[in-house]
Structure 1
Amino acid sequence: MSSMSWTSFITDFEHFLRLERGLSVNTISNYKYDIKRLVTFLEKSNTKLVSPIDITEATIQEFVYKISKELKSRTQARIISGLRIFFDYLIFENYRDTNPVDQIESPRLGLKLPDTLSVKDIDTIISVIDLNYQFRGVNLGHRNKAIVECLYSCGLRVSELTGLKISDLFFDEGFIKVSGKGNKERFVPIGKNTQYLINIWLDIRKHIDIAQESKDILFLNYKGNKLTRAMIFTIIKKLVNKSGLQKTISPHTFRHSFATHLLENGADLRAIQLMLGHESITTTEIYTHIDKSQLNKVINTFHPRK
C-alpha cells in the first residue's frame, strides 16, 4: 500500500493528463477541482480520510448522493466522469485493481441545445462598441471589435482566442492556425472583414510596451500582457449589457452561432466539424437543431407533395 497523500496522487494524475493525454490546462483544472470536491467530502465526513487506493464504491455512492442534492444533473455527470477517469488512472499505475465508480450511474441528461444569436443580435452587439474607447492611452475599442468578429467569424473557443499568435495568421492564404483542445492544431478560414479589423488592431498594438512572453500573442491588455479568459467574458458581458439584449450571452455563444448559421445556410456538417475542431462528428450534430419555421421552409421548398 502506498503512503502517498491525496495531493501527491492528484499531482501525478495532473502530469499524466498533461503529458500522456495532452489535455488543456482548463480541462485538467476541472478534473482536479472535481477530485478535490471528493476530498472535501471525505474530510467533512465522520470517517477517517482514506487513501484513494482504499476508497470503496459505498463511499462514492454517499458522495454522489450528497452532490445530487446540491448540483445540476450535468455537473453531477461531469464529476462522476472525472472521478471514473481518475480511478482508471490509479488502476493503470497499479495502485488499485478495481474502479469504485464503474457501477455508479450518471444522471440522465436531456439534449441541451446551444444558445444562439441571430445575425441581427450580433450586429447589435458590434454596433455598441466604442471604437474611440481608450484606457491608459491604449485604444481598446478596435481590439474589442476584432475580438468579437474573430469569435463569431472563426468559431473559436475562448482559450483558442486568447492563445492566438501573430505567427498563426496566414492572411494571404485566408487562414489562421488554431491550437485547440489537447494542443491539436487546425486551420480555420478567416474573412476579409475580420482580417481588416485585426490589421487595425495590429497597428495599435505596435505602440504598446509588450511583455517578453507575450511578444507573439495577438490580443493583449493595455499593459502588454496576454488577455485572460475572465477578461474576454467581461468584455462580452459589458457589450451585451450596453446592447440591451435580454439574453444570456457568453463568448461561447458566438461559437455556437457560427456553427448554426453555417448549417442553416447549407454548409456541410463535416466541414463545420473540421472548423470547430470537434474530434467526433456526433459533437457537431447538436447543431442540426432547426426551429419549426426552418423545417417548414425545407418541406415547402424541397418536398414533391408540398
Structure 2
Amino acid sequence: MREKIREFIMYLSVERGLSRAYQNSVQQSLESLAEWAEARQSVLKDLGTDELAQFLAARRDASLASSSQRILVVHLKIFFRYLVSKRSVLADVAEPLIAPKTQGKLPESVSIEVILGMLESIDTTQRLGKRDKAMLELFYASGLRLSELCQLCLEHYDAESALLRVTGKGNKTRLVPVGESAQSALALYLTAERPNLVKAKTRSHIFLSVRGGSLSPERVREVVKLRAAAAGIKENVYPHLLRHCFATHLLENGADLRVIQEMLGHADISTTQIYTHVDQQRLKSIHKSFHPRA
C-alpha cells in the first residue's frame, strides 16, 4: 500500500500540480490508513467499504474532529478513484463513504475601525515600517492568502493598472485590484526600503527579509501579530483574519458576492457564501440592539 501511496503523491505533484501542503495533507491521511491496515495485518486488496468505515470509526474514536474526518474521507475517495483508474483495484470501495456533517464555523472578523487603527499605527519612518505597512495594507486591500503574499514577485504587480497577478490554490491565476492606500504603501516600500534589503542573491520577491530573502509564512504571521499588539489590539489578529475582513467589509458595503468570489479565488460560490452568514449575524445584532420589540 505504501508504494501505491508514493505513486499517488507523485501523481498529485507532477500531473496535477497541487501544492506541497496539499500533498503533505493527503500523504498524512493515507499513511494513517496504511498504519491501521498494517496493525490488522491487512493489505490493499483486503480493504473494502466496511474496512474503510471501520478505519474512519477508529479515527473518530481517537477524537478526530468532524472537519478533519471530512477531509480524510475526501482523501480516501480521491486515492481509491486513482487506484481504479490505474487498475490497481477492481472497485472503488471508498465511493459509498459518507463524510460526517459539520456545523459551519463562521469566519472571524473585526471592525473596519480596528483594522484601520492598526494600519495607521505603523510608523513608516522606523526600520521595516514601510515593508510592514505595505504588507498589511495589501493583505486587507486584496484579500490575499498568506502563501500568495509570500510568493508575490515584482513582475506580478502592475502599478499602472493597480492589479496583482496572483497564483492561488491549484495553481489557478487571478487578477486582484490593489486599493489606493495599498498602492501608496507599496510605492513607498519599493522605492525607499526594498532597495536597502536587496543582497547579491536576492530574487524578485516583493517582500524581503533583512537578509534579502523572501519572507517565510511564519515570519509574516509574527509581523502581523507584533503590529497588532503594538496598536493595542486585544483581538487575535493573524493573516487570514485580514482576508476574512476584506471579504466581510466588502459585503457589508454592498459588494456583489460573485465579485468577492473572484477576488478571493474561490472555485465555488458556496465557499464565499459563508460571508453572507456573517452579514446576517451583524443584521440580527443590530436588530436586537435597536428595535423596540426585539
The question of a shared fold, defined as TM-score above 0.5 by the shorter chain, is answered with yes
Q: Is the 8 A contact 2:52 2:94 kept in 1?
A: yes
- Counterpart Cα distance in 2 of 1:40 and 1:239: 43
- Counterpart Cα distance in 1 of 2:228 and 2:181: 22
Match in the other structure for 1:176: 164
- Counterpart Cα distance in 2 of 1:292 and 1:159: 29
CA 1:292 to 1:225, structure 2 compared with 1: closer, same or farther past 3 Å? closer
- Counterpart Cα distance in 1 of 2:149 and 2:269: 22
Q: Is the 8 A contact 1:155 1:276 kept in 2?
A: yes
* Structure 1 length-normalised TM: 0.84
One-letter amino acid of the counterpart of residue 24, structure 1: S
CA 1:228 to 1:293, structure 2 compared with 1: closer, same or farther past 3 Å? closer
One-letter amino acid of the counterpart of residue 183, structure 2: Q
* Alignment of 1:120 onto 2:109: no
2:99 is matched with which residue: 92, 100, 106?
106
- Per the TM alignment, residue 14 of structure 1 is displaced from its structure 2 partner at its CA by 1.9
Match in the other structure for 1:278: 266
- Per the TM alignment, residue 282 of structure 1 is displaced from its structure 2 partner at its CA by 1.8
Match in the other structure for 2:70: 77
2:195 is matched with which residue: 197, 206, 217?
206
Q: 1:186 is paired with a residue of what secondary structure? A: strand
- Counterpart Cα distance in 2 of 1:251 and 1:193: 18
- Per the TM alignment, residue 130 of structure 1 is displaced from its structure 2 partner at its CA by 4.9
Percent of pairs with identical residues: 33
Root mean square deviation of aligned Cα: 2.3
- Per the TM alignment, residue 293 of structure 1 is displaced from its structure 2 partner at its CA by 5.3
**Greater helix share, 1 or 2?**
2
2:220 is matched with which residue: 213, 217, 232?
232
Structure 1 residue runs without a partner (length 5+): 134-138, 299-306
2:13 is matched with which residue: 10, 15, 18?
18
1:153 is matched with which residue: 141, 166, 184?
141
Residues 35-58 of structure 1, C-alpha deviations (whole Å, 9 max, x = no match): 222233345x3x22x443443333
Matched residue pairs, number?
Answer: 284
Match in the other structure for 1:260: 248
2:30 is matched with which residue: 35, 47, 54?
35
- Counterpart Cα distance in 1 of 2:133 and 2:72: 36
* Structure 2 length-normalised TM: 0.87
CA 1:187 to 1:105, structure 2 compared with 1: closer, same or farther past 3 Å? same
Q: 1:222 is paired with a residue of what secondary structure? A: coil
